[in-house]
Structure 1
Amino acid sequence: MEKLQAALDKARKTRTGQPSAPPARRPPKPRLAADAASALDEMWEALAPFDLDDRQLVDHLVVAREVSEAATPFDILRTKAVLQMRHHGWKRLAITSPMPGSGKTTVACNLALGLGRQRDLRSMLFDLDLRDPSVHEFLQIAPRHSIGDVLTGKVSFAEQALRFGDNVAFSAANRSETDPTRLLLAEETADMLDEIEAAYKPDLMIFDLPSVLVNDDTRAFLKNVDCALIVIRAETTRHSQFDTCEREIAEHTNVLGVLLNAYRYSDHGKP
């Protein structure tokens, strides 16, 4: 009866010139999460890949590419950093030191490669020690463009960055910059990093920054990170230098922790 009544009503409206109601449209299908994940995978795969020379890595004390006893301290650092940053919802980590020669670039490269063994994480390392860049030397890579070209928008991140494995991207410098503070302080740089993070969705972004007490480059950039790791060197870094560095950093961002590098003695005073 209901079907018959509906047919009669439709015929009646047709006779009186009233259009019948259009059939209901199906709602558009929501975009599947798998499609977005696939597109993200393709963006990472499009980054130019490179391989590493184990002998060159050892020469620079970069040991975290594979599981080993030498890599264990960096694996511990990786785990502690990831857990603490997840707890606070942080993604951007600066690595710096009070003075040069403390081993911050060694720590940054080892942390990045240690994160690369964590298959469920995507990580990026940016060499922003623009007066004296060294990540490209540590890893023996030769990017076609310098990271400064990315920060100023001359080239895209996709054109400049290099990928190791499936899940670690390196944006290295291939030359020093004459006025790095201008780049590191610029809002254009902040916007560019936001765009890279939004497009590639890394779990961690690591920034190898200059030593705090030698110039104002690191102070200019710290507003762009969530936290900072301070690397000090045993028997070299003075307490006054560390104290000043920690206070300077704490004015601009969170101090994730302090790493004592090149400590050669046990609790009993034996090597």
Structure 2
Amino acid sequence: MIYQSPAAGAVPLASANPTTAATPLSTTPRHVIPADQLGEAIVGFRSRDQRSRPFNLLRTQIARLVGEGVRVIGITSATPQVGKTFVASNLAASLARLPEMQTVLVDLDLRRGSVAERFNIPVQQGVTEYLAGEVDDLSTIAWGVEGERLTLYPTAEARVHSSELLASARLQGLIASMRAIPGQAVVLCDLPPVFANDDSMIVSELIDGYIMVVEDGVTTAKQVRDSRRLLGSVRCFGTVLNRYIKGFAGGDYGYGYGKGSGYSDYYN
């Protein structure tokens, strides 16, 4: 896994509602996952595991952005099945190990959300239900990991009409509540692939910027360029090369989620 940052630029002003009028997003989980029930692919909590090293390196870059005033970061990709949720989940886990850092991971991939699956969360209601108006209290869908400073907001039921939910005032309020978290905090939003639909374009207008996950030997330079063009002037904080075949110290940090475009699976 390799992280590449583009040329530095000014952090855009938040386009969501002012945080002064928002209730802070809860970082006190209502539900807790036992640490021994985490999926094997969650390595970001294991500081002595060499597989966590790439995420610790990326964590340092994100911590610098937070120090510059960045609060809400999207994790996306051009196409499905390149490991964006794997990267988002482990980066969140790694960030949660930093002292005094409040870390939140929100699953905004409403059609194919998989944060709950990655963390083995038996979720029944989540972000989708909140955006649809079926849940009013966000704290009721907040999950945590035993002994860790990480708060998770997973999705539950997949929704075909995800764009309408993401274009609602409820999402704007959710983003505003992310910005209202007191103290040093970072919120990672697992976004849909850019080419899958217009969901990422809708959300990207409300956040500070995004990280693009690409797969070694699969994602093309044209796909990256076209994705950045579709996301317009939203700041790209960098790209993460996943499943890099040479890895670090000769290792392979990929987790074979399957080859192919994945579009048929995404829409089914």
TM range (shorter): 0.7 to 0.9
Change (3 A) 1:270 1:131: closer
Structure 1: runs of 5+ lacking an equivalent: 1-39
Q: Which residue of 2 aligns with 1:159?
A: 140
Equivalent AA in structure 1 for residue 241 of structure 2: L
Residue 181 of structure 1 pairs with residue 181 of structure 2:
no
Mapped to 1, the partners of 2:247 and 2:57 lie a distance apart of 18
Equivalent position amino acid for 2:222 in 1: S
TM-score by length of 2: 0.76
SS at match of 2:180: helix
Bigger CA radius of gyration: 1
Aligned length: 224
The higher relative CO (CA closer than 8 Å, separation ≥ 6) is in: 2
For residues 1-271 of structure 1, the aligned pairs below 5 Å read 44-45=27-28, 47-53=30-36, 57-58=39-40, 61-67=41-47, 68-87=49-68, 89-153=69-133, 154-164=135-145, 165=147, 167-198=149-180, 203-249=185-231, 251-265=232-246
Q: For residues 76 and 266 of structure 1, do their structure 2 counterparts lie closer, same or farther at Cα, with a shift above 3 Å needed? A: closer
Using the alignment, how far apart are the partners of 1:93 and 1:80 within structure 2?
12
Superposed structure 1 runs of 4+ greater than 6 Å apart: none
Letter in 2 for 1:225: I
Q: Is the 8 A contact 1:231 1:261 kept in 2?
A: yes
Q: 1:27 is matched with which residue?
A: none
Taking the aligned partners of 1:270 and 1:140, their CA distance within structure 2 comes to 26
> Structure 1-normalised TM-score?
0.75
| Higher helix proportion (structure 1 or 2) | 1
Could you tell me how far 1:167 is from its partner in structure 2? 2.2
Coordinate RMSD, CA, aligned: 2.4
Q: What's the CA shift for 1:48? A: 2.1
Q: CA deviation at 1:155?
A: 2.6
Q: How has the CA–CA distance of structure 1 residues 241 and 45 changed in structure 2, closer, same or farther, with 3 Å as cutoff?
A: closer
List per-residue Cα deviations over 1:154-185 (Å, max 9, x = no partner): 23111111122352110001110121101112
| Partner Cα distance (1:132, 1:144) in 2 | 15
Identical pairs, percent: 25
Residue 44 (structure 1) shift:
4.0
Counterpart residue type for residue 244 of structure 2: Y
CA distance in 2, matches of 1:155, 1:52: 28
